[in-house]
Structure 1
């Protein structure tokens, strides 16, 4: 993800009213463990330069997914053209019903999710590891509006020749997946919402993180009025992040240990990644206000079966964020872990999806 003084996969979740808003480019030049504001409560990387510790992943419990009508896709990497001419990267691997990853960030890319244990889904799913425009191996583009990004998923579906696919969303990707499912319900079979949010950097997130920091530090490091408006909440949240980072515990928004962050850093730092999506959302946030809206109400329009996977110690999106969701046909699984459940709780994560996909 970065060298000794570089963060390559970090997206800085600092709203426009923050007292100091780091751009992505500024964040890459600073020591991540000393940042005055914590970069990304919702992206998948905070940082550590050390070599990753070895980690064994338990095998997922055996189960046989229910038969599903799906086209046999040729495995391998490919590049397709979106309807506006932008180039998009994807990789097909596995067997079974077709599922597309909707990664988080914004701008994270799919590779670290795939390589940190989510590739075990390929045992029973045909996974489409898709990099959103300006993310991972998909080049930067001109347009990053929500409508355009959601259309990219539809363009990819058509290019693959798939009638229906399931969506597996992580973190910020939850907003994108819900919007796709709402606009193209006829092409979505099921939806997995893993450690997702439907209100990116909203006031709920601010209060949750402020409370969390005060608990970790054992004192009321940051005070905020009960009737504080969104701007005041965001300012207090940034102060809380800075305090936790200064204490050396900034990684705890994502995980209880630095292990998963180190592993992610090694993977994301191992190739040249596009960063246009993240740059656009955070450096030009006034141009893309739709990403800061609350999409909770939209979840009520998604009638397909939905598996919600939450982390009891996920202080990026919040351990209770999933309780705001309104999917009419949802199943909730709460794992004893943080934001990166596909790695830290791999056996349970894969097992829950395997069981969900087997349900008729």
Structure 2
């Protein structure tokens, strides 16, 4: 089962073998497509940046990808979901327009994607804790600031990455122009409860006897104590079916097939994604049950939330309520009416407009450079 888990405790579904992984001969079919994507997305501007490098963060070797048309642009670090659900191999499908306005950083976190085979799983397993991911992120931000000669960055956290990102914003606001949340988690247990109740309600409304039977069988969900991975997998199976992940879609194939055309990922890298997903979800998911920012009511950095109106993977109403209580130098919510949990792909134009209108001016005011 874990071989094909997507590794989102927030977004876990049992993906088919064809969605992420293929045999070597079948993968040859996609090699010409990857070459086309690579050429289209190649950065050719005089002051552009396009590089992938390895960084040691918290003692673990990790892979970092940086792309942008002008290295003078402000840096935007995307903290991917999961843990273990890397965005680097999917970024080609939405990120290129961002790169005209930001230097965009994708990073495979410890135990994830291309970073997974670089470290002994037995050695890093004890380190897979939210606080370590937070501190890895801080180390990476400081490295990026030195490497590209800037004072602050934009930090975007998506899904699990929003737990990491919000933790960084609370601890080191001095490093950030703003914190940007997407698929934001505020209270993990409440998140699961609301998502489950919505999914069960939809199953009943549509007369789906199979879904109702399976969902009722996992009650109480999420319950008390550590999270149960098997129960979570059942909930995600049906929440994805009803569009909690991607509005108007009953599966995630469009998303998880995107790495087949990624210039950044080989077939071996995609296998590492699968293996790292299984590793991180089994190691981390049970311990995340009590992660909550409900009592965090002040941040010393601007906060922008990009919320899918139809997101019931991380129900956006919970975040909206929390934003109403938050005190920050500046705060705003942009609602993506036709999105669920993946607005960067579901409504890419609206997401880009929000970044340009709501976020980028904050760097201009502060001054991006040292």
Does the TM-score normalized on the shorter chain lie above 0.5?
Answer: yes
The superposition leaves residues 171-192 of structure 1 with CA deviations (integer Å, 9 ceiling, x where unpaired) of 1111100111122121111111
1:173 corresponds to which of 161, 168, 172: 161
More deviation, 86-95/340-349: 86-95
Question: Residue 44 and residue 190 in structure 1: after superposition, are their counterparts in 2 closer, same or farther (change >3 A)?
Answer: farther
Please report how far the alpha carbon of residue 125 of structure 1 lies from its aligned counterpart in structure 2 after TM superposition: 0.6
Decide whether the 8 Å contact of 1:9 with 1:108 is kept in 2.
no
| Structure-2 separation of matches of 1:277 and 1:180 | 23
The superposition leaves residues 80-139 of structure 1 with CA deviations (integer Å, 9 ceiling, x where unpaired) of 12242x111111111310110111111111224412213321110111111111112213
The superposition leaves residues 25-74 of structure 1 with CA deviations (integer Å, 9 ceiling, x where unpaired) of xxxxxxxxxxxxxxxx435985684799xxxxxxxxxxxxxxxxxxx884
Decide whether the 8 Å contact of 2:83 with 2:280 is kept in 1.
yes
Task: Look up the match of 1:322.
Answer: 319
Task: Look up the match of 2:85.
Answer: 108
Q: In angstroms, what is the RMSD of aligned CA positions?
A: 3.8
Task: Look up the match of 2:246.
Answer: 255
Decide whether the 8 Å contact of 2:80 with 2:87 is kept in 1.
yes
Task: Look up the match of 1:198.
Answer: 186
| Structure-1 separation of matches of 2:236 and 2:153 | 40
| Structure-2 separation of matches of 1:244 and 1:157 | 33
Secondary structure of the structure 2 residue equivalent to 1:10 = coil
Question: Residue 9 and residue 353 in structure 1: after superposition, are their counterparts in 2 closer, same or farther (change >3 A)?
Answer: farther
| Structure-1 separation of matches of 2:293 and 2:225 | 22
Question: Residue 258 and residue 74 in structure 1: after superposition, are their counterparts in 2 closer, same or farther (change >3 A)?
Answer: same
| Aligned 1:23-102 pairs, distance under 5 A | 41-42=10-11, 46=15, 49=18, 74-84=49-59, 86-94=60-68, 95=70, 96-102=73-79
| Structure-2 separation of matches of 1:181 and 1:314 | 23
TM-score, with normalisation over the residues of structure 1? 0.71
Please report how far the alpha carbon of residue 277 of structure 1 lies from its aligned counterpart in structure 2 after TM superposition: 6.0
For these two proteins, the number of residue pairs brought into alignment is: 302
2:138 paired with 1:154: yes
Task: Look up the match of 2:152.
Answer: 164
Decide whether the 8 Å contact of 1:43 with 1:104 is kept in 2.
no
| Structure-2 separation of matches of 1:102 and 1:260 | 23
Decide whether the 8 Å contact of 1:7 with 1:47 is kept in 2.
no
2:352 paired with 1:350: yes
For CA contacts below 8 A with separation 6 or more, give which structure has more relative contact order: 1
| Aligned 1:223-302 pairs, distance under 5 A | 230-231=223-224, 238=231, 242=234, 245=237, 250=241, 252-258=243-249, 261-268=252-259, 271=266, 272-273=269-270, 274=272, 278-285=277-284, 289=287, 292-298=290-296, 300-302=297-299
| Structure-1 separation of matches of 2:226 and 2:135 | 33
Secondary structure of the structure 2 residue equivalent to 1:179 = helix
Question: Residue 348 and residue 277 in structure 1: after superposition, are their counterparts in 2 closer, same or farther (change >3 A)?
Answer: same
Secondary structure of the structure 1 residue equivalent to 2:247 = coil
| Structure-2 separation of matches of 1:223 and 1:314 | 22
Instruction: Give the gaps of 5 or more residues in structure 2.
Output: 20-28, 31-46, 363-370
Secondary structure of the structure 2 residue equivalent to 1:334 = strand
| Structure-2 separation of matches of 1:81 and 1:242 | 36
In terms of fraction of residues, the more helix-rich structure is 2
Task: Look up the match of 2:368.
Answer: none
| Structure-2 separation of matches of 1:254 and 1:99 | 24
The superposition leaves residues 235-255 of structure 1 with CA deviations (integer Å, 9 ceiling, x where unpaired) of 8x939x748847x96362312
TM-score, with normalisation over the residues of structure 2? 0.69
Instruction: Give the gaps of 5 or more residues in structure 1.
Output: 14-40, 53-71
Question: Residue 12 and residue 349 in structure 1: after superposition, are their counterparts in 2 closer, same or farther (change >3 A)?
Answer: closer
